[in-house]
Structure 1
Amino acid sequence: MNTALWIAAALLAVVALTGGVSKAFVPRARLAAHPGGAWTGERGDGFVKTLGVLELLAAAGLILPAALGIAPVLVPVTAACWVLLMIGAMITHARHGEAKFVALNLAYLALAAFVAWGRA
Structure 2
Amino acid sequence: MNIVLWIIAGVLAAAFLGAGLLKLSQPKEKLAASGMGWAESFGAGTVKLIGALEVLAAVGLILPALLDVVPVLVPLAALGLVLVMIGAAVTHARRKESQAIVINVVLLILAVVVVWGRFGPYSFTS
TM-score (structure 1 length as normaliser): 0.96
Structure 1 residue 34 displacement after superposition: 2.2
- State the one-letter code of the partner of 1:106: V
Aligned to 1:54: 53
What 5-or-longer segments of structure 2 have no aligned partner? 120-126
Aligned to 1:90: 89
Identical residues among aligned pairs (%): 49
Write the mapping of 1:72-111 to structure 2, written as runs, cut at 5 A.
72-111=71-110
Structure 1 residue 100 displacement after superposition: 0.9
> Which ranges of 4 or more aligned residues in structure 1 deviate by more than 2 Å?
none
RMSD over aligned CA atoms reads 0.8
- Between the aligned partners of 1:49 and 1:81, the Cα distance in structure 2 is 16
Write the mapping of 1:30-69 to structure 2, written as runs, cut at 5 A.
30-35=30-35, 37-69=36-68
Aligned to 1:17: 17
Q: SS state of the match for residue 61, structure 2?
A: helix
- Between the aligned partners of 2:53 and 2:84, the Cα distance in structure 1 is 10
- Between the aligned partners of 1:10 and 1:30, the Cα distance in structure 2 is 28
TM-score (structure 2 length as normaliser): 0.91
- State the one-letter code of the partner of 1:75: V
**CA deviation vs aligned residue, 1:96-115 (integer Å, no higher than 9, x gap):** 11111100110000000000
Structure 1 residue 27 displacement after superposition: 1.2
